[in-house]
Amino acid sequence: MEASKDFRTLYHLCKEEEIHETLKTLNAKLFSLTNDISLLKHPIKSFYEFFERLPEDVVIIFDEFQILAKNYPRILGVIQEHLDFRGKGSIVLCGSSISMMEDLIPYGSPLYGRRTLSLKVEPLEFHNIHEFFPGYSLEDLVKVYGMVDGIPE
């Protein structure tokens, strides 16, 4: 979210839910972003429609994308088609399942050759934690680091 703060962004946290519920949520977020009244009269009914109606200057972030891909495996093909034929805007796919996210990249995947950047967020090193908790004693920093295991949230 911090990296996209200077961009027009639509953020969506993927959840274990029926696809029609996901589309309903995306429709509401799209309406909030665009104020397009037609989304209230004719809500999106598919991911194809969602990407069609998504403004070109919007960065879409799908967080925990592996959940959406599991619930709706065709999403990879939909994104492939969007990137190949519409090609505007940016799509950010985030996920905590490293193996699933790596499965998006290899030859044969619908998204093969379509990514521009991959980042793997590494755990925070102990010597950096004081920047997040200035004024904490060394003992308290050790306790905090022990609780979060180096994973900033």
pTM, two decimals, is 0.76
Indicate if 88 and 135 belong to the same structural domain: no
Do 97 and 131 lie in one domain? The reply is: no
Q: What is each CA distance from 123 to 1, 15, 34, 131, in whole angstroms? A: 18, 24, 36, 15
Q: Which pLDDT belongs to residue 148?
A: 80
CA nearest neighbour of 13 among 58, 50, 60: 60
The pLDDT tens digits of the residues spanning 16-31 come to 999 999 999 999 999 9
Q: Are residues 77 and 141 in the same domain?
A: no
> How would residue 131 be classed by pLDDT, with cut points 50, 70 and 90?
confident
One domain, residues 36 and 100? yes
The reply to whether 51 and 111 lie within a common domain is: yes
pLDDT band at 124 (very low <50, low <70, confident <90, very high): confident
Same domain, 28 and 80: yes
